[in-house]
């Protein structure tokens, strides 16, 4: 299997694992009687600091997975999944993991700087994939 596809599967798996973490904490709180199932307001900070960072890390993955998936699938469709494309995809996955782990670690200035670095790396890499798709497919 192409490493770009493996990186996409890794990104999707990481997104699911973070979601399972959110679901587990919510389920535990409801089963313990600490919260009602409707006491987790969307988009509003609630719960412990770690829970909220986990929630936001998951949402960040959900927001970026469609971009990454679209680019990898277009790359596969037009036949540009070479070693450079795959390497950039692996960089995206690594940057996503770094960003999420920094997000989970704390809200300190250093953690926010590391998160931002991971974010910028992903978006720079997305642009690189777009360029590769357009260039290698003969569009540019």
The 10s digit of each residue's pLDDT in 7-54 is 999 999 999 999 999 999 999 989 999 888 888 888 788 888 999 999
Mean pLDDT, residues 90-114: 96
Domain residue ranges of the chain, discontinuous segments joined by +: 3-137
Confidence of residue 126 (pLDDT cuts 50, 70, 90): very high
Report yes or no: 11 and 73 within 8 Å, Cβ to Cβ: no
Mean pLDDT, residues 113-133: 97
Evaluate if residue 140 carries a pLDDT over 90.
no
pLDDT of residue 122: 98
pLDDT of residue 100: 97
pLDDT of residue 91: 98
Mean pLDDT, residues 122-135: 97
If you classify domain 3-137 with CATH, what class do you get? mainly alpha
Evaluate if residue 95 carries a pLDDT over 90.
yes
pLDDT of residue 83: 96
Rounded to 5 degrees, φ, ψ at 15 are -60, -45
Report yes or no: 17 and 62 within 8 Å, Cβ to Cβ: no
Distances (CA, A) of 40 to 33, 78, 91, 105: 14, 43, 34, 22
Task: Please give the residue that has the higher pLDDT: either 112 or 46.
Answer: 112
| pTM of the predicted model as reported, rounded to 2 decimal places | 0.93
pLDDT of residue 138: 85
């Amino acid at each position: 299997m192409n490493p770009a596809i493996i990186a996409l599967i890794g990104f999707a798996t990481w997104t699911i694992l973070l979601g399972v973490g959110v679901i587990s904490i919510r389920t535990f709180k409801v089963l313990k009687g600490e919260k009602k199932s409707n006491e987790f307001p969307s988009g509003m900070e609630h719960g412990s600091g770690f829970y909220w960072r986990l929630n936001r890390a998951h949402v960040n993955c959900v927001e970026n997975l469609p971009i990454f998936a679209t680019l990898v699938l277009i790359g596969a469709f037009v036949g540009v999944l070479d070693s450079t494309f795959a390497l950039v995809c692996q960089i995206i996955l690594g940057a996503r993991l770094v960003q999420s782990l920094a997000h989970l670690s704390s809200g300190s200035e250093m953690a926010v700087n590391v998160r931002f670095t991971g974010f910028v790396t992903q978006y720079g890499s997305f642009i690189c994939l777009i360029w590769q798709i357009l260039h290698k497919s003969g569009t540019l």
